[in-house]
A and B are shown apart, each in its own frame.
Chain A
Amino acid sequence: MSKFKLITDGLVKNNPTFVLLLGMCPTLATTTSAINGLSMGLATLFVLVLSNMAISAIAPAVPDKVHIPVYIVVIATFVTLLQFLMQAYTPAMYETLGLFIPLIVVNCIVLGRAEAFANKHGVLESACDGLGVGLGFTCSLTVLGLVREILGSGSAFGYNFIGGHDGMLAFVMAPGAFLCLGYLMVLFNKYLKKN
C-alpha cells in the first residue's frame, strides 16, 4: 500500500469520526467552535503520529501478554508531554480544552490504531497512518465545530457576522452536537456510497 493511500484512507474511507465513529466523547464535547475543534484535532494528531511511530518500533520486542499496558504507558507519555507543551506555550487553549487533553490517553482512536496497524507495520508506514487518521479526525472536528459555531453563535473561526444577536444556542450545547454530528454523518456516507 502506498504511503499516500494510507493518508487518504484515514481521511475518507477510515474517517474516525464519520465512518468508524471512534472518539465520540471529545468530538461532541470540544466542538463548540471551529477553533476548539481544530485544536483538539491537532492535539490528537500529535499524539497519534508519535505513539504510532514509537509503538511500531517497539512492538517486536514487547511480550504479547503485556502489550496493552506497554502501549498505554507509551501513549500516556506522549499525552503528558503534549500537556506540558500546551501549558507552557498555548495556555489559553489548554484551559479551553481542559480535561479533554489528558483524556486523549483513553481515546480509542489512538489505542485502536496501535493495535490494528502500528504493531504490524514499519515506523514510516505507521507514521503515515497516524497522520492520515489524525488529519481525518482534525478535519471532521473542525467541520463539526464550524457548523455548530455558525448555527449556534453566528460566527466562523471567531469572526462574528450577525452583530450583537444571539445564534441558535441549542447548537452550542450537547443536543446540537448530536444533531449536527448525525446530519454530517448522513451527508458524508451518502457521498461515500456515490463513489
Chain B
Amino acid sequence: MAAKSNLTNMVLALGVTCLLCSAILGGAFVLTKEPIEAAAAQKTNRAIAQVLPAFETASERQFVEALGKDFPYYEAKNGETLAGYAIESTVVGFGGNLTLMVGITPDRVVYNTSVLSHSETPGLGAKCTSDPKFVSQWQGFDPSVKKLIVRKDGGDVDAITASTITSRAYALAVENALVAFDTLYAPDATSGATKPVEEGGQSNE
C-alpha cells in the first residue's frame, strides 16, 4: 500500500496534491464562470419579467436607500415611460432570510411578487412560493385599498395555513418594498411621497 513516510515525501505529496487540485479548480472556475453568471442573470430577468407588466428595457441593478438599508432595484421602461420598478426586498422569515422581488407600477399598486430565495420549512412556510391562494393575492394588490397585514392581525392578507410567521414576513417584505418605491418615485411633487408605514386612507392621485 502506502509508501514509508519521511519529511521530504510527506511535504512533496501534500504539496503536489494541493498544487494539482488548485490548478484543476482554477480551470473549472474559469470555464464555469460565464454559465454561472448567465444562470444568475437569467433568474433575475425572469423574476423581473414575472413581477412587472410587459416592458421593453430594464435597467442594471441599482440601489436605493430606505429604512436604513439599501434596496436593490431595476427600473423597467417602455420607451420613455416608466413601466414600473422591480425591487428586491429582504426580511427575516421563519427559517432565515426571505428575499422577494416585488414589482410596483407607477400607480403604486403591486403588480406581482416572486420569491428569489427563502429558507422556510418545507411543506409549511415554503408554500409561499406555491400556495395558489397565497401567491395569487399579490397580483394587483393595491395597498391604498387593502391593509398589508395578515388577516389574523386585522389586515387583508390571507396567510398560509399554519405559517403565519412566514406570511407576516412576506407582507412586511412587500411593505418595505413600497417604502423603497416611495423613495424612488413621487408621482406628485406637491403632495410628496406618502409614508406607507401608516397604511390605509392615503392615496396618490
Chain B 9-23, CB-CB to A under 8 Å as 1, else 0, gives: 110011001100100
Cβ contact within 8 Å between B4 and A84: no
Main secondary structure of the interface of B (DSSP, over half): helix
Among A64, A87, A169, point to the contact of B4 (Cβ < 8 A).
A64
Question: By the criterion of a CB under 8 Å from any partner CB, how many residues of chain B are at the interface?
Answer: 32
Among B6, B9, B32, point to the contact of A87 (Cβ < 8 A).
B32
A60 to B1 CA separation, bound complex (whole angstroms) = 5
Determine whether B197 belongs to the interface, using a CB cutoff of 8 Å to chain A: no
Determine whether A59 belongs to the interface, using a CB cutoff of 8 Å to chain B: yes
Determine whether A44 belongs to the interface, using a CB cutoff of 8 Å to chain B: no
List the B side residues contacting A153 at CB < 8 Å: 123
Determine whether A21 belongs to the interface, using a CB cutoff of 8 Å to chain B: no
Given contacts A63-B9, A66-B10, A66-B14, is CB(A84)–CB(B122) below 8 Å? no
Chain B proximity of A105: nearest CB distance (Å)? 12
List the A side residues contacting B122 at CB < 8 Å: 32-33, 172-173
Among A58, A65, A98, A169, point to the contact of B10 (Cβ < 8 A).
A65
Cβ contact within 8 Å between A61 and B13: yes
List the A side residues contacting B39 at CB < 8 Å: 87-89, 91
Question: By the criterion of a CB under 8 Å from any partner CB, how many residues of chain A are at the interface?
Answer: 38
Of the stretches A11-19, A70-78, A187-195, the one at the interface is: A70-78
Determine whether A119 belongs to the interface, using a CB cutoff of 8 Å to chain B: yes
Among B21, B119, B121, point to the contact of A74 (Cβ < 8 A).
B21
Chain A proximity of B38: nearest CB distance (Å)? 8
List the A side residues contacting B117 at CB < 8 Å: 95
Interface residues of A in 41-70 (CB under 8 A from B): 58-67, 69-70
List the A side residues contacting B189 at CB < 8 Å: none
Determine whether B67 belongs to the interface, using a CB cutoff of 8 Å to chain A: no
List the B side residues contacting A66 at CB < 8 Å: 5, 10, 13-14
Interface residues of A in 1-54 (CB under 8 A from B): 32-33
Chain B 100-130, CB-CB to A under 8 Å as 1, else 0, gives: 0000000000000000010101111000000
List the A side residues contacting B124 at CB < 8 Å: 169, 172-173
Interface residues of A in 89-133 (CB under 8 A from B): 89, 91, 95, 98, 119-120
Cβ contact within 8 Å between A73 and B10: no
Determine whether A179 belongs to the interface, using a CB cutoff of 8 Å to chain B: no
Cβ contact within 8 Å between B161 and A166: yes
Interface residues of B in 12-47 (CB under 8 A from A): 13-14, 17-18, 21, 24-25, 28-29, 32, 35-36, 39-40, 43
